[in-house]
Each structure stands twice: as structure tokens, then as C-alpha cells.
């Protein structure tokens, strides 16, 4: 038995450990979005009583009606989970009745591309007064190393109404709260790896918190990777996503060179991918999207500056990827010019607005930046995406657009492929359109003088 487990056996947290192992622990999930809702459903599937918390009353009411607001989560999963005891609420006072609380709230960038922890801090401020001794609190939101200890722990201890203190190694308070960090590892649209097969990384403020978090997540995931601290777990998530960011930036930059040289970058990547060692294929696109990969480099570079360190390599990768929507719009302009048409006054249909194919997720989607840039140049922009009937107001944009029909593609001066959804008939799109600009290589193998690949 490990040291942490030995400590548990003689300490008050043995009660919560027993409740976790017997599936009687009451679980709270805060933030019922693309990470929190699927996690709540997993716990419900294992038989745990689960309470979901969200400040969005519309989400809570939708779940109460047995309906889902996430495309990949069918209504039936919500209804089955409700039969197993899943409930949703906006009332944080219910926190006191739980054994373990998991925070899954957004961590975006602010207008200056600096970390915006307002969702995390406001959440912890809301729940801290209701926390009671013996509870496990886990942060899953992607953030910079040090957030759990430097932000979450002080708020918990300063606002807790019961005088509870966070347990630290070598110091088990009379009324302890156990705090850990475990980064979410979501990949929307990936059906090749079962969620339970994705290893779960956990790092607690003390050994007991690590052991409790390990026990909690081991009920869901087949492999748990424990690390020595929350900071290690926080850095692990950043490394995973910055690795992707840097490699995508590499192929994006090579794509720009290959376009000038008349070389097909996609053919190059496919050929390189035949090497059975030392190479992993990454693919270029119109820019990065999703909550993590476009965000994480800036979280880490911000933290690095506090230590007098500049992450020049990582910052450059972020700049390359951020420039790709501008490249796409420039390519649209050049393609229209070849038809003796200016961008100003031209009608452009954007195909696909989600940040990757076959998902209903708009977070940081390059399509939104592209639409904004085209509108700024005077284009009349429409869009089509089977996952979004309307484009409503977001943190950055307020387009007020409705999904257009695909019945009359020839009426547009340009059809721009931004997201290559599988249910698009690209042969038909090319045949019916005056001009197609393809930023995803979706028309590969289709030969037409009206197709421009960018």
C-alpha cells in the first residue's frame, strides 16, 4: 500500500474513499459544457448520484426536460442519466451536500491575449462559502502552472464559512478540504478512442488529495497517471496542446511556401507519413480552433514572462497560426480578382463554421475571424453549417446570421470551404459553384479550373 493510502486509512478521508469505491459518493460537476456534461454522464453511468451546476439557466432547464444541447450527446443519454439520479441546478448552496466537486469552466484569453481566469475565480468564490470538511475539489479547466495553488487554494481558504483549510503535505488540518488538478483530455469528433481509454492525469496539493482524485477517476478511466503536484499536471496539459500547436504551425508555414513553389503540401505530408519512425503527420488549415490549442501557448508564455523567460519558439508558432485566417481571406481576394471581381460587393458563402469537421463547437473557430475579415472588406457573407442553424452573439462577434440553403450555390461569387464536414458533397459543390476556394483540401482529386486551393 502506498504512503498516501496508508495515511488515508488513518485519516477522516477514509470515509470519502469508501464512498467513492462503493459508488455512493455524491459528485458535483460545475460547468455543463463540452467537458462537464460528458463527464457528468460518465459518473452517472457508473451509478454515482450526480449534481450538475451551471450559471446558464437555459442549459439547466434543457437538461431538466431530458434534452441535450450538445450534438454528440443524444437526448436519450440525458434521460437515462436522469433515471440514474442526475440533476442540474444553478444553486451553489447544494455544494455542501457533496463529497467531490469537479470544476470544468472555460479559461479563455482576454482582449490582450492574456489568461482570463474570471470563470475559475468566480466559480471558486461562489462555492467556497459552501464547502465543508472532508470534500475533494478538483479543477479540470486548462490553465497555467500554479493556478490551483496560487488562485484556487487562497480563495477557498479565505471565503470558506466553516473555517476549513486545504490539506498540504505534512499538514492535515482539523477540518481539511482536499484539492487537486486533473486536466481534461477531450477530442470532440474523435470516435477512434473510447473516453475511458484516455489516461487521466491527476496531481494533488497533498498526497491524500492525489490518492482521492486517483480513486475517483479510476471509477471512470482505465488508466490513472499520478504526478507529484498540480503544477506538473497543469504543465502536462499545456505541453500536449503546445506540441500540436507548434507542429500545425510548421505545416501551415510550409504550406505557404509550397503554394509559391507549386508543390502540393498534402502530397508531401502523405509521402512523409509513410516513414514508420520519427514522423507524425499534422495537417495545415485555415487557422486553429477549439478551446485549448489556440489558447494554451499564450497561457504559458504569459506565465513564463513572470519568471523572466520568453518562449520565442512557442510564441512564433502562435503567431503563424493566428495569421492563417488572413491568408485565407487574401486567397479569396486573389481568386475573385482572377474573375475580375473585387471582394467589396461580392457574395461569399462560407461552408462550415465549427472549428473542426463533424462537431457542433464554435470555440475559437477560424471561420468566425474569416467572416469578420470578409465583411470588413465589404463582402456580403453567408454561411452554411449543418450543426448551426444560427450564428448568435459570441465573446468577440455579433453576426446575427442564419444558415443559408445549398440549393443555389451558383448565385454566390465565391464558395469558401472552411470546415470540411463529411456530409458535404464536394463534387456537387464544385459543379454548381462559380468559384470554390478550398482551405481544407476537401476537393482533392476534383479537377476544375474554378477550384483554388489555399
Phi-psi region of 31 (alpha: psi -120 to 50; beta: other; left: phi over 0): left
Q: What whole-number percentage of the chain has pLDDT above 70?
A: 97
Tell me the β-bridge partners of 201.
225
Closest CA to 34 of 318, 342, 312, 359: 359
Closest CA to 418 of 359, 350, 363: 350
Query: Cell numbers at residue 73, please?
Result: 450527446
Query: 3-228 and 248-453 share one CATH topology?
Result: yes
Active site residue 292: yes
Query: Hey, is 167 helix, strand or coil?
Result: coil
Question: What is the spatial distance between Cα 391 and Cα 385, in angstroms, rounded to a whole number?
Answer: 10
Task: Answer whether 252's CB lies under 8 Å from 294's CB.
Answer: no
Query: Per-residue pLDDT tens for 339-373?
Result: 999 999 999 999 999 999 999 999 889 999 999 99
| 112 C-beta neighbours (distance < 10 Å), count | 8
Q: Give the start-to-end residue ranges of the domains of the chain.
A: 3-228, 248-453
User: Hey, which bits of 68-112 come out as E strands?
Assistant: 87-89, 100-103
| 313 C-beta neighbours (distance < 10 Å), count | 11
| Residue 445 burial class via C-beta count within 10 angstroms: exposed 0-12, middle 13-18, buried 19 and up | exposed
Angle subtended at Cα 262 by Cα 258 and Cα 267, rounded to the nearest 5 degrees: 65
The pLDDT of residue 397 is 86
Closest CA to 370 of 425, 426, 289, 297: 289
Query: Per-residue pLDDT tens for 175-184?
Result: 999 999 999 9
Q: What whole-number percentage of the chain has pLDDT above 90?
A: 85
Task: Given the residues 104, 164, 258, 292, select the one marked as catalytic.
Answer: 292
Q: Give the strand pairing for 27-30 and 50-53.
A: parallel
Q: Give the strand pairing for 390-391 and 401-402.
A: antiparallel
Mean per-residue pLDDT, 6-25? 75
Question: What is the spatial distance between Cα 185 and Cα 187, in angstroms, rounded to a whole number?
Answer: 7
CATH superfamily entry for domain 3-228 = NAD(P)-binding Rossmann-like Domain (3.40.50.720)
The pLDDT of residue 9 is 39
Question: What is the spatial distance between Cα 193 and Cα 240, in angstroms, rounded to a whole number?
Answer: 17
Name the CA dihedral angle for 266, 272, 273, 279, rounded to a multiple of 10 degrees: -120
Residue 12 above 70 pLDDT?
Answer: no
Query: Per-residue pLDDT tens for 256-308?
Result: 999 999 999 999 999 999 999 999 999 999 998 887 788 888 899 999 999 99
Task: Answer whether 347's CB lies under 8 Å from 379's CB.
Answer: yes
Residue 232 above 90 pLDDT?
Answer: yes
Residue 215 above 60 pLDDT?
Answer: yes
The pLDDT of residue 11 is 46
Non-local CB neighbours of 393 within 8 Å, separated by 6+ positions: 400
Q: What are phi and psi for residue 215, nearest 5 degrees?
A: -65, -40
* Class for the domain spanning 248-453: alpha beta
Task: Answer whether 5's CB lies under 8 Å from 214's CB.
Answer: no
Question: What is the spatial distance between Cα 205 and Cα 226, in angstroms, rounded to a whole number?
Answer: 12
Question: What is the spatial distance between Cα 29 and Cα 105, in angstroms, rounded to a whole number?
Answer: 10
Non-local CB neighbours of 407 within 8 Å, separated by 6+ positions: none
Q: Kind and range of the H or E element at 388?
A: none
Average per-residue pLDDT in the chain? 93
Give residue 2's pLDDT band: very low, low, confident or very high (50, 70, 90). very low
The pLDDT of residue 378 is 97
Closest CA to 266 of 276, 277, 281: 281
Task: Answer whether 138's CB lies under 8 Å from 213's CB.
Answer: yes
Amino acid at each position: 500500500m502506498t504512503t498516501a493510502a496508508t495515511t488515508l486509512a488513518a485519516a477522516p478521508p477514509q470515509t470519502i474513499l469508501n464512498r467513492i469505491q462503493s459508488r455512493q459518493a455524491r459528485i458535483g460537476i460545475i460547468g455543463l459544457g463540452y467537458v462537464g456534461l460528458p463527464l457528468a454522464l460518465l459518473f452517472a453511468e457508473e451509478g454515482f448520484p450526480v449534481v450538475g451546476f451551471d450559471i446558464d439557466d437555459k442549459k439547466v432547464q434543457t437538461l431538466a426536460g431530458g434534452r441535450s444541447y450538445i450534438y454528440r450527446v443524444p437526448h436519450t443519454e440525458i434521460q437515462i442519466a436522469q433515471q440514474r439520479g442526475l440533476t442540474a441546478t444553478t444553486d451553489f448552496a447544494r455544494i455542501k451536500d457533496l463529497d467531490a466537486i469537479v470544476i470544468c469552466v472555460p479559461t479563455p484569453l482576454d482582449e490582450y491575449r492574456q489568461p482570463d481566469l474570471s470563470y475559475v475565480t468566480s466559480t471558486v468564490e461562489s462555492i467556497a462559502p459552501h464547502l465543508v470538511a472532508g470534500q475533494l475539489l478538483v479543477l479540470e479547466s486548462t490553465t497555467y502552472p500554479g493556478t490551483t495553488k496560487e488562485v484556487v487554494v487562497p480563495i477557498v481558504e479565505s471565503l470558506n464559512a466553516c473555517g476549513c483549510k486545504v490539506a498540504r503535505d505534512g499538514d492535515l488540518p482539523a477540518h481539511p478540504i482536499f484539492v487537486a488538478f486533473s486536466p481534461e483530455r477531450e477530442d470532440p469528433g474523435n470516435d477512434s478512442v473510447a473516453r475511458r481509454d484516455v489516461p487521466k492525469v491527476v496531481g494533488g496539493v497533498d498526497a491524500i488529495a492525489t490518492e482521492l482524485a486517483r480513486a475517483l477517476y479510476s471509477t471512470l478511466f482505465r488508466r490513472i497517471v499520478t504526478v507529484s503536484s498540480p503544477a506538473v499536471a497543469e504543465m502536462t496539459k499545456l505541453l500536449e496542446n503546445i506540441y500540436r500547436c507548434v507542429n500545425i504551425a510548421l505545416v501551415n508555414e510550409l504550406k505557404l511556401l509550397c503554394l509559391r513553389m507549386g508543390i502540393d503540401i498534402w502530397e508531401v505530408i502523405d509521402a512523409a507519413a509513410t516513414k514508420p519512425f520519427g514522423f507524425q503527420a499534422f495537417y495545415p488549415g485555415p487557422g486553429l480552433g477549439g478551446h485549448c490549442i489556440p489558447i494554451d501557448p499564450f497561457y504559458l508564455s504569459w506565465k513564463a514572462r513572470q519568471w523572466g523567460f520568453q518562449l520565442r519558439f512557442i510564441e512564433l508558432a502562435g503567431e503563424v497560426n493566428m495569421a492563417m485566417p488572413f491568408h485565407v481571406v487574401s486567397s479569396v481576394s486573389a481568386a475573385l480578382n482572377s474573375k475580375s471581381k473585387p471582394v467589396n460587393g461580392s457574395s461569399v458563402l462560407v461552408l462550415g463554421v465549427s472549428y473542426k469537421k463533424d462537431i457542433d463547437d464554435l470555440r475559437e473557430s477560424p471561420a468566425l475571424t474569416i467572416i469578420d475579415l470578409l465583411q470588413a472588406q465589404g463582402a456580403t457573407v453567408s454561411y452554411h453549417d449543418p450543426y448551426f442553424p444560427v450564428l448568435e452573439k459570441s465573446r468577440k462577434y455579433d453576426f446575427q446570421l442564419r444558415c443559408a440553403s445549398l440549393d443555389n450555390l451558383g448565385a454566390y461569387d465565391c464558395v469558401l470551404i472552411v470546415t470540411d464536414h463529411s456530409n458535404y458533397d464536394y463534387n456537387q459543390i464544385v459543379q454548381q459553384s462559380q468559384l470554390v476556394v478550398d482551405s481544407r483540401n476537401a476537393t482533392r482529386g476534383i479537377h476544375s479550373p474554378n477550384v483554388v486551393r489555399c
